[in-house]
Amino acid sequence: MELSSFSSLVHHSSLISDNISFSSSISPFPLQISLKTPKLPKPTSQNLRISAVAIEPQEQPQNSPQRLLKELDERKRATSPRQKVPPRRFILRPPLDDKRLADRFLKSPQLSLKSFPLLSSCLPSTRLNNADKTWMDEYLLEAKQALGYSLDPSENLGDDNPAKHFDTLLYLAFQHPACERTKARHVRSGHSRLLFLGQYVLELAFAEYFLQRYPRESPAPMRERVYNLIGKRNLPKWIKAARLQNLVFPYDDMDRLTRKEREPPVKSVFWALFGAIYLCFGLPEVYRVLFEVFGMDPEDEECQPKLRRQLEDVDYVSVEFEGNKLSWQDVAAYKPPEDALFAHPRLFRACVPPGMHRFRGNLWDFDSRSQVMQILGYPLAVKDRIPEITEARNIELGLGLQLCFLHPSKHKFEHPRFCYERLEYVGQKIQDLVMAERLLMKHLDAPGLWLQEKHRRILMNKFCGRYLREKNLHRSIIFSEQVQDAYEHNRRLRNPATTAVQQALHGLAYTVYGKPDVRRLMLQHHPHHHQQQQQQPPRVLALPLRVLFVCGLLALRAPFAHPPILRTPCPAFNLTVSPSHDIFDKSERRINLGEISTPQLMSKARVYADVNVLRPKDYWDYESLTVQWGDQDDYEVVRKVGRGKYSEVFEGINVNTNERCIIKILKPVKKKKIKREIKILQNLCGGPNVVKLLDIVRDQHSKTPSLIFEYVNSTDFKVLYPTLTDYDIRYYIYELLKALDYCHSQGIMHRDVKPHNVMIDHELRKLRLIDWGLAEFYHPGKEYNVRVASRYFKGPELLVDLQDYDYSLDMWSLGCMFAGMIFRKEPFFYGHDNHDQLVKIAKVLGTDELNAYLNKYHLELDPQLDALVGRHSRKPWSKFVNPDNQHLISPEAIDFLDKLLRYDHQDRLTAREAMAHPYFSQVRAAESSRMRTQ
């Protein structure tokens, strides 16, 4: 790949301003837009003043490194003297197992990529060309100089040389998603694959560094340190400190960018850069760039954790084993040359301090250690009473396996439990990196986003305690068989421990043997498992197969029947068959549901439960609705104002009355869903603070339906909410409760309450609840789809798959919205997926009330979700109060929030009860006085 021979092509184009009116494929309405001459971004920032340098092209070619270096020198001279470069200092370069890899790269000018499949897997499948470039050739040398790499040209090196391919990886790392000039798939995919790998490289690097730097600190503040170092606040600062902002951003001043445009690209470039460095030079080079180039300082005040849990002093001078007391110096005397304990002293001793296994109360059968080590692939050679000091022996002597098999729910000792957490912490990071490398080599054409989701699913499903179960190591985790039997029948208590033990084993294997041994544990099947499968005689399987075959024939002859709709899982459901009747009624040719004992109705709304029962069918039967279409030519589109999953929204104008309106163009969905939204809007027309439906039109050719609503001059909630006063929040929440109480009184659930669907005209102090596309009529006992509402505002009933929910779902969403407003934390529960959303809720409300909620309604969490939730205590609301939001917090506000955010949906306030809460006393008084004056 001739990267240095790329020519700099800059095409300048200008567009003449003109007014164009046309009908787009998305919108069937006439669209009026005005095109203006675009402003091309400048290639440099304000901090760099470019001086023109007269260079004869005959003397120095355009792509000559000498010419580019001379221009860089001129730029440095023109730099403002006021700008002070932050000090850079080299802190740590630990001797890790990747040092050999780095030496081979540095000492081999003609190294074949065939021996490094991981490196070649991140290179694009086709060669780059000039059209794919989004930054100039000179920036490549500038980036290499800033990072401390040689500026020698690479034309003389072979195409299979890593030094030359590093130029390509560096180029791919700086691909900015927001400014791509081309949609070339291999370029964008190469960048996303680099950032996919780089995030796990950084996590492992920081984990190792902080474990060594703070040997008496728990992993919780370590995670906080990592987030503070490479989080949203400090990341742009590191980019500026390394003088790489011109390579990351094509804009003059990146501080002018909004958070939405600025932070994700910065993080992707940052991660991709270290993915490229790791592929070419290994972890030691990652440390050098972090601390020497970017100048990261872990002692910075902004990087310090809020809570630091330190350990008390413990005597760990000597070790005790089988009645023999050996000092740490005596153990060192037995050290063979290949002893891994002393080859990696920093990281291993940081995770496993000597002598920490002398605590009383071991929770696993210590006599079975030889069997456990044999199963894991660590043979233990015993000579007399003291085993031979080998690498396998050091795992025992350094307390390794004892710490790995500690059970979190039973262990009461602080210091050993603490060491176990450190092993688990580093094990989690190394298994993430090993699996990331595995996926990169297995899926050569997959983009990073797909790899990220694949990575998450595999580690949560396939490798969650897999080989602990396959190798029958559960009996070794807990000492008491009676306790173990109890855990065998309670997956909620067993699975989290299984995952933690496996991660601790990975951490132990990495600190002693390195990454290859972790790869062996994760990706190789142990022979013991295959032997068990081969030892099973085929006759044992013959009878079950015959039974399944006979049942299959009977099923083909049996009548087809539709089973009843049941919530899953429902452990309270039992099938009881009457002895006098067969469960299949042959005369009716269907399942006789009368012979099955079904559970009673488990949940019913406390208010407005029978609204739709008492009203005629025409009120709620939206499938029989006949839509009266209006004239589409009465409206014209002015501009696009938003888009959603099921529609696109435009600001329009009524050509007859010249009044502004909102046009919601629906995307292709089921007619039933469109009729439901129209029927609900018609039923709620004229309700307080409910958006008014003015007209319904349809394109004659494409048959695309559109809804015409009243216009609301709303302000983006991200801009408006930080400016609201305490009374403003009370007022607007009270107005929103009016709309919710009205729609609930009409037997309708909104099911998508969130700030995006609450339009506020702050000047007129007008609020409208919009987007009724997910709204539904409530019928007691009916089971609804749980895939409604936005993730951050989903109620617990949706996350635990309780389908017979009611109006109280909207009250939870209102509580999440209210919490984000008063605590200035939007969104308040920030989950990355539905499972993580429940985890975020449990970390605030605790798991005790969650378990009580599940038991009340006979629900059981999915084992995978149960393992993620874990155990958490309830966090007081005062923990979220800070100087920025304390003027919005009051006792009545906390009480109101606490009565909204309840696990049990039947314990939440109804909309009518919420309006009567003391929190709104000022609003009610002002409203009553306004009514009297009128």
pLDDT at 481 over 80: no
Q: Is residue 292 part of a domain?
A: yes
**Beta bridge mates, 696:** 707
Which tokens in the block code for residue 169? Answer: 């990886």
Please give the average per-residue pLDDT across 721-730, as a whole number. 95
Contact, 807 vs 910, CB < 8 A? yes
Do 269 and 333 reside in the same domain of the chain?
no
pLDDT grade, residue 777 (50/70/90)? Answer: very high
**Where is the domain boundary, 666, 692, 710?**
710
pLDDT grade, residue 47 (50/70/90)? Answer: very low
Please give the average per-residue pLDDT across 543-572, as a whole number. 38
Read off φ and ψ for residue 22, nearest 5 degrees.
-155, 170
pLDDT grade, residue 267 (50/70/90)? Answer: confident
Cα separation, 583 vs 591, in Å, equals: 6
Domain that holds residue 113: 99-303
Please give the average per-residue pLDDT across 602-608, as a whole number. 87
pLDDT digits (tens, 9 = 90+) for 330-367: 433 433 333 333 344 456 667 765 444 443 334 444 55
Say what the pLDDT of residue 124 is.
63
Say what the pLDDT of residue 440 is.
86
What is residue 42's DSSP assignment? P
CATH number at residue 664: 3.30.200.20
Contact, 768 vs 759, CB < 8 A? yes
The CA angle 299-304-305, to the nearest 5 degrees, is 150
Q: Where do runs of H (alpha helix) occur along 514-526?
A: 515-523
752 is catalytic: yes
**Which amino acid makes up residue 329?**
Q
Q: Backbone dihedral region of 604: left (phi > 0), alpha (psi from -120 to 50 degrees) or beta?
A: beta
**Beta bridge mates, 813:** none
Higher-confidence residue: 169 or 838? 838
Sheet containing strand 30-35, edge to edge, reads 18-23, 30-35, 635-643, 647-654, 659-666, 705-710, 693-698
Say what the pLDDT of residue 105 is.
42
Contact, 502 vs 511, CB < 8 A? no
Do 402 and 494 reside in the same domain of the chain?
yes
Say what the pLDDT of residue 865 is.
83
The CA angle 283-284-288, to the nearest 5 degrees, is 115
Rounded to a whole number of angstroms, the CA Rg of the chain reads 33
H or E stretch at 117: helix 117-121
% of the chain surpassing 90 pLDDT: 29
Say what the pLDDT of residue 568 is.
30
Q: Is residue 865 part of a domain?
A: yes
**Cβ-based burial of 624 (10 A; exposed 0-12, middle 13-18, buried ≥19):** exposed
pLDDT at 816 over 70: yes
Q: Is residue 562 part of a domain?
A: no
Per the structure, the count of domains in the chain is: 4
Read off φ and ψ for residue 214, nearest 5 degrees.
-125, 85
Q: Is residue 428 part of a domain?
A: yes
pLDDT grade, residue 454 (50/70/90)? Answer: confident
Do 293 and 323 reside in the same domain of the chain?
no
pLDDT digits (tens, 9 = 90+) for 698-719: 988 888 899 999 999 999 999 9
pLDDT at 570 over 50: no
Contact, 17 vs 37, CB < 8 A? yes
Say what the pLDDT of residue 308 is.
55
pLDDT at 258 over 60: no
**Beta bridge mates, 769:** 690, 758
**Least confidently predicted of 69-78, 274-283, 715-724:** 69-78
Contact, 211 vs 425, CB < 8 A? yes
Say what the pLDDT of residue 822 is.
96
Please give the average per-residue pLDDT across 311-330, as a whole number. 39
Q: Is residue 211 part of a domain?
A: yes
Q: Compute CA distances 1 → 124, 143, 144, 252, whole Å.
A: 10, 19, 18, 31
Residue count of the chain: 934
Which tokens in the block code for residue 251? Answer: 């804009």
Which tokens in the block code for residue 461? Answer: 């499903």
The CA angle 282-283-287, to the nearest 5 degrees, is 130
Please give the average per-residue pLDDT across 24-46, as a whole number. 41
Nearest to 227 by CA among 111, 293, 305, 295: 305
Please give the average per-residue pLDDT across 716-727, as a whole number. 93
Q: Is residue 57 part of a domain?
A: no
Contact, 280 vs 162, CB < 8 A? yes
Do 287 and 352 reside in the same domain of the chain?
no
% of the chain surpassing 70 pLDDT: 55
**Where is the domain boundary, 710, 745, 778?**
710
**Least confidently predicted of 6-10, 511-515, 919-923:** 6-10
Q: Is residue 167 part of a domain?
A: yes
Say what the pLDDT of residue 156 is.
44
Do 145 and 261 reside in the same domain of the chain?
yes
pLDDT at 544 over 80: no
The CA angle 286-287-289, to the nearest 5 degrees, is 65
Higher-confidence residue: 87 or 77? 77
Say what the pLDDT of residue 769 is.
97
Contacts of residue 354, Cβ cutoff 8 Å, sequence gap at least 6: 316, 319, 328, 331, 398, 399
Do 295 and 323 reside in the same domain of the chain?
no
Read off φ and ψ for residue 148, nearest 5 degrees.
90, 30
CATH number at residue 826: 1.10.510.10
- The pairs formed by 687-690 with CB atoms below 8 angstroms and a separation of 24 or more are 687/739, 687/742, 687/743, 687/746, 688/735, 688/738, 688/739, 688/742, 689/735, 689/736, 689/738, 689/739, 689/742, 689/767, 689/768, 689/769, 690/739, 690/742, 690/743, 690/768, 690/769
pLDDT at 575 over 70: no
Strands (E) in 232-323, as ranges, are 318-321
Please give the average per-residue pLDDT across 119-132, as a whole number. 56
Cα separation, 443 vs 450, in Å, equals: 10
The CA angle 692-697-703, to the nearest 5 degrees, is 140
Say whether 675 counts as a known binding-site residue: no
pLDDT at 292 over 50: yes
pLDDT at 152 over 70: no
Count of CB atoms within 10 A of residue 896's CB?
Answer: 21
Say what the pLDDT of residue 534 is.
37
Say what the pLDDT of residue 603 is.
82
The residue behind tokens 């003389």 is 156
CATH number at residue 272: 1.10.1520.10
Do 723 and 867 reside in the same domain of the chain?
yes
Do 389 and 243 reside in the same domain of the chain?
no
Contacts of residue 391, Cβ cutoff 8 Å, sequence gap at least 6: 338, 339, 340, 341, 378, 512, 513
Say what the pLDDT of residue 402 is.
60
Higher-confidence residue: 640 or 403? 640
CA 721 to chain centre: 25
Q: Backbone dihedral region of 765: left (phi > 0), alpha (psi from -120 to 50 degrees) or beta?
A: left
Full DSSP string of 769-800: E---TT-EE--TT----S--S-GGG--HHHHT
Contacts of residue 9, Cβ cutoff 8 Å, sequence gap at least 6: 130, 133
Do 264 and 322 reside in the same domain of the chain?
no
Which tokens in the block code for residue 273? Answer: 């850069």
Nearest to 419 by CA among 339, 498, 357, 502: 357
What is residue 310's DSSP assignment? B
**Least confidently predicted of 228-232, 835-839, 857-861, 903-907:** 228-232
Contacts of residue 3, Cβ cutoff 8 Å, sequence gap at least 6: 128, 140, 154, 164, 167, 168, 171
Do 268 and 339 reside in the same domain of the chain?
no
- The pairs formed by 17-26 with CB atoms below 8 angstroms and a separation of 24 or more are 26/648, 26/665
Q: Check whether the bond before 564 is cis (ω within 30° of 0).
A: no
Contact, 755 vs 722, CB < 8 A? no
Do 322 and 274 reside in the same domain of the chain?
no
Cα separation, 374 vs 383, in Å, equals: 17
**Least confidently predicted of 249-263, 807-821, 884-898:** 249-263
CA 592 to chain centre: 46
Biggest CA–CA distance in the chain, Å, is 105
Catalytic residue among 167, 741, 752, 810: 752
Do 244 and 323 reside in the same domain of the chain?
no
Say what the pLDDT of residue 894 is.
96
Q: Is residue 55 part of a domain?
A: no
**Where is the domain boundary, 667, 685, 710?**
710
390-409 burial code (b ≥16 CB/10 A, e <16): bbbbbbbbbbbbbbbbbbbe
Q: Check whether the bond before 569 is cis (ω within 30° of 0).
A: yes
Q: Which one of 153-167, 375-389, 418-432, 608-622 scores highest in mean pLDDT?
A: 608-622
**Angle in degrees, 0-180, between the axes of helices 481-488 and 491-513, rounded to the nearest 10:** 110
Say what the pLDDT of residue 195 is.
87
Mean pLDDT estimate for the chain = 69
Q: Which one of 530-544, 637-651, 654-668 scores highest in mean pLDDT?
A: 654-668
Say what the pLDDT of residue 472 is.
64
Please give the average per-residue pLDDT across 602-619, as a whole number. 91
Contact, 729 vs 821, CB < 8 A? yes
Contact, 268 vs 261, CB < 8 A? no
Contact, 253 vs 46, CB < 8 A? yes
